[in-house]
Chains A and B, each alone.
Chain A
Amino acid sequence: MHLTALILSRLQFAFTISFHIIFPSFSIGLAAWLTVLEALHLATGRPVYRRVFEFWLKIFGVAFGLGVVSGVVMGFQFGTNWSELARMGGPIQGPLLSYETFTAFFLEASFFGILLFGRPRVPPGFYLFSTAMVALGTTLSAFWIVANNSWMQVPVGYVFQNGGFVPTDWTKILFNSVLWVRFPHMLLASYLTGAFCVAATGAWLGLRGVARAEAEVMLKMGLYLAAVLVPAQILFGHLNGDYVHKYQPPKFAAIEGRWHDEQPASEVLVAIPDARHETDHYALSVPVLGSVIGSMSLNSKEVGLTDFPAQDRPPVFIPFWTFRVMVGCGLVMLALAWAGSYLAFRGRLDQSRLLLRMIFLSFPLPWVAILTGWFTAEVGRQPWVVYGVLRTAKAVTPFLTTRAAMTSLVLFCAVYAFIFAAGIFYIYRLLQAGPVGELAEPTRGTPNRPLSIGGPDPSETPRPAPRGA
């Protein structure tokens, strides 16, 4: 492939945003889970909830910090690499993202400090309130980001004037039905990330026989939550498919691997799509199912990619496969969550080491699902950046040179790899240690220092937890 500034910019955006999404998706879920734990602790008074809370708070801190530093880059990349999009879409995208900074950053920054260091200084009810506010902040942040992206997927409420998008109806932009199925989809994905990480950690601790009471709380809460959320997520996934079917038929056809109109349409389960010959190789398909999935009907006509001019079609291979990987992850998560919940409910989960091991190994699944889901949405949107209106090739900074784009791509890859390795190693060490250490009330506050609370100084050795503290 010839490396142009356009390709390099796309790679850079894909790389930096994929790196970034790993952390917020985790911290959105964790913040909500911390709120539930704190509420349970207040309601029941059981110390185990407190110990689990303190344990996950440390991990939350590190993930939150990495999300903050990698997020700063995102706000500037629109201008550096995508100046034409920034100029034209700025009147709509700029205000949406400025609301993110103002509302979400403000809430998070204000209450995060209290969360980390304020427990001895504020009443328990206010501490719970602070936890909920941090969770609200992360959720609001996700809302504005998805609002911006949904407008790029299905632009509404604007006129195109003087070479730019001029907002005419903000209620349409903010109450776009597409936004309100995509935002819950993202939110549920984040909650599932939290649930699976918590359950996997519980399984890991359980397998090693460490901190049994805490491990059981983590396993049960994670699995029960996932058992309820995965079906809800599948429902919202279906609703997302509906909007793609309605507003982005070429993307839908690419996901389905459907090249020609069919009535009734079959569903290609797996295949190797071949764009040059406009066909699928080694296709395994089920008749009629395509019409059922697309239109909930037995004989609807479903459109194929060849209905659209070649320059308006997305790449097929990537969305076709990323979609299947996402759905596959979802189905595996469903099986694990239900099987695990059933055994946990019957009190036999700790006897099934095989299932525990599988739950432990399942922790990457929600991330894989989130990344492949976003790949499907974003690659499937091509060749448009603002769907149907502005092409990606016209959005890139017109005078950006390959040399400059290559420099920045290499620089970001190197820096991110460096801090990612350190951050992951650090989270791993925290997880491995398990919920140990005293429930000492922190006395000195240093808020706004997301990464600093993770555990003891390396020179200190962790002490075992006093039970019932």
Chain B
Amino acid sequence: MVEFWVFILGFSVLLYVLLDGFDLGIGILFGIAPHENEKSAMMSAVAPIWDGNETWLVVAGVVLWGAFPLAYSTLLSAFYLPIVFMLAGLILRGVAFEFRYKTQRWRGVWDWAFAGGSLVATFAQGVTVGALVEGLPMANGHYSGGDLGWLDPFAILCGIGLCLGYALLGACWMVRKCEDEARELGYRFIAALSVGLLAFLGIVFALALRADLQVMHRWLERPYLFVFPAIGALAAIVLAHSVRRRRDGLPFYMAALIFIAAFGTLAISFWPYMIPFSITIQQAAAPQSSLAFMFWGEGLFVFPLMLVYTAISYSVFRGKVRSDSAHY
């Protein structure tokens, strides 16, 4: 039962990162897109699905609470400020999607809210993951780091890294969904972001080695972990090829594969900890009666339906968005 909910939680988080990742990334790139018709095409490329994507964050949140209450309460309270800023960013970008087209005079304000909100939300998520990798300061079962205990150069670097990463996903989505100038813009973004992301990975690796992070020990203990970076490297090579050959559909899958590899690396190097390296999955798990209650209804029946719905929604909106058919 615990394993089932670990799987559902991991799956929901991964799905969230991949799906909301590309639409947050589009939001970030939106801020530096030069012309209105590109902006409009970028918005159209994610408009029908962003809301569903974000729902996976809520799914991950409530599964974490219901199945792993100790992890939920520890994580959310420790990362108080990043989470609050993430939520504010998500609200602003969410309404900007819609209000942007309701006004001419205020359009600039909503554009700013869209790009700024996406950037803040992504950065906050990256900082959270970075600080988690370093390990949370804990005393007597409570977080003991204070308001800004998560704040250090490594976490900030991870925040920037996730912005680059989501932006890469977003750029790949642009290439996949858009035509003409917006598609070309997407290819230019991919080139720049790939270099940026590579540089980021190098710096993070060097920093992690220097700081002698506990995660690094796990790597030496578990050499099979290197399978994941290998997959990531392979995906990066295919990505480069597909960009050179202008194969519009492929880059997104490769970028997603890089994210899956990174996610798998983290998940397995944390195992069996839920909050590295202080709270294990077993310690965090809710009582059997809670897990069973969730399993026999939402886990067994509703969860598969949710996946079906997501698949249907994407298949309805498959194919390119044409710039002239931009809604409104």
> A residues engaging B (CB < 8 A)?
65-66, 68-70, 72-73, 75-76, 78-81, 83-84, 86-95, 97-103, 105-106, 109-110, 113, 161, 164, 166-168, 170, 397-401, 403-404, 407-408, 411-412, 415, 418-419, 422-423, 426, 444-452, 454, 457-459
B309 to chain A, nearest CB (A): 5
Given A106-B305, A415-B92; A91-B69 close (CB under 8 Å): yes
User: What's the Cα separation between A103 and B305 when bound, in Å?
Assistant: 10
CB pair A95 B290 closer than 8 Å: yes
Nearest A residue to B95, CB-CB: A419
Q: Of A75, A397, A450, which contacts B98 at CB under 8 A?
A: A450
Q: How distant is B148 from chain A, measured CB to nearest CB, in Å? A: 9
Chain B residues, CB < 8 A from A79: 61, 65, 72-73, 75-77, 83
Q: Out of B51, B59, B143, name the residue touching A450 (CB < 8 Å).
A: B51
**Nearest CB on A from B298, distance (A):** 4
Other-chain residue from A94, A97, A164, A403 in contact with B147 (beta carbon distance below 8 A): A403
Given contacts A87-B69, A101-B58, contact A408 B84 (CB under 8 A): yes
A80, B84: Cβ atoms under 8 Å? yes
Give chain B nearest CB distance to A202 CB in angstroms.
25
Asked if B63 contacts A90 (CB within 8 A), the reply is no
For the complex, what is the distance from the CA of A90 to the CA of B98, rounded to whole Å?
Answer: 35
Say yes or no: B298 contacts A84, CB within 8 Å: no
- In the complex the two chains form, what is the Cα distance from A100 to B61 in whole Å? 12
A75 CB contacts on chain B under 8 angstroms: 58, 61-62, 65
Contact among A94, A110, A404 with B80 in the assembled complex (CB-CB below 8 Å): A404
A-side contacts of B144, CB under 8 Å: 399
B253 at the A interface (CB under 8 A):
no
Shortest beta-carbon distance from A104 to chain B in Å:
10
Question: What are 27 A-B pairs with beta-carbon distances under 8 A?
Answer: A69-B94, A72-B54, A72-B91, A75-B61, A76-B87, A80-B80, A80-B83, A83-B74, A92-B290, A98-B62, A98-B65, A100-B62, A101-B58, A101-B59, A105-B58, A113-B313, A399-B142, A400-B80, A404-B81, A408-B80, A419-B92, A422-B99, A448-B48, A451-B95, A451-B99, A452-B47, A452-B97
Q: Is the interface of A mostly helix, strand, loop or mixed?
A: helix
Q: What distance in Å separates the Cβ of B129 from its nearest Cβ neighbour in chain A?
A: 16
Chain B nearest Cβ from A163, distance in angstroms: 10
Asked if B208 is at the interface (CB within 8 A of a chain A CB), the reply is no
Beta-carbon contacts of B297-328 to A below 8 Å, as 1s and 0s? Answer: 11000110110010001001100000001011
From residue B301, how far is it (CB to closest CB) to chain A in Å?
A: 9
Q: Of the candidates A90, A408, A411, which one forms a contact with B65 in the assembled complex, judged by CB atoms under 8 Å apart? A: A90
Rounded to whole angstroms, the CA-CA distance of A79 and B48 in the bound complex is 30
- Listed from nearest, the 3 A-B pairs whose CB atoms lie closest are A90-B69, A79-B76, A94-B66
- Which of B100-108, B162-170, B242-250, B266-274 is the contact stretch? B100-108
Which B-chain residue is minimally distant from A101 (CB atoms)?
B62
Assess whether B29 is interfacial by the CB under 8 Å rule. no
- Is the CB–CB distance between A72 and B313 below 8 Å? no
Interface pair B98/A452, CB less than 8 Å apart: yes
Tell me whether A458 and B104 are in contact (CB under 8 A): yes
- Does chain A have a CB within 8 A of B157? no
Q: Could you tell me if A86 and B72 are in contact, using CB atoms closer than 8 angstroms?
A: yes
Smallest CB–CB gap between A455 and chain B, Å?
8
Which residues of chain B come closer than 8 Å to A81, judged between CB atoms?
Answer: 77, 80
B48 partner, pick from A66, A99, A422, A449, beta carbons under 8 A: A449
Q: A90-B66, A164-B69 are in contact. Are A449 and B51 (CB under 8 A)?
A: yes
Q: Which residues of B contact A446 (CB under 8 A)?
A: 47-48, 317, 327
Most buried by B among A91, A419, A450, A457: A91
Q: Which residues of A contact B146 (CB under 8 A)?
A: 399, 401
User: For residue A89, which residues in chain B have a CB less than 8 angstroms away from its CB?
Assistant: 69
Residue of A whose beta carbon sits closest to that of B299:
A102
**B282 at the A interface (CB under 8 A):** no
Query: Looking at the complex, which one of B47, B70, B101 makes contact with A457 (CB distance below 8 Å)?
Result: B101
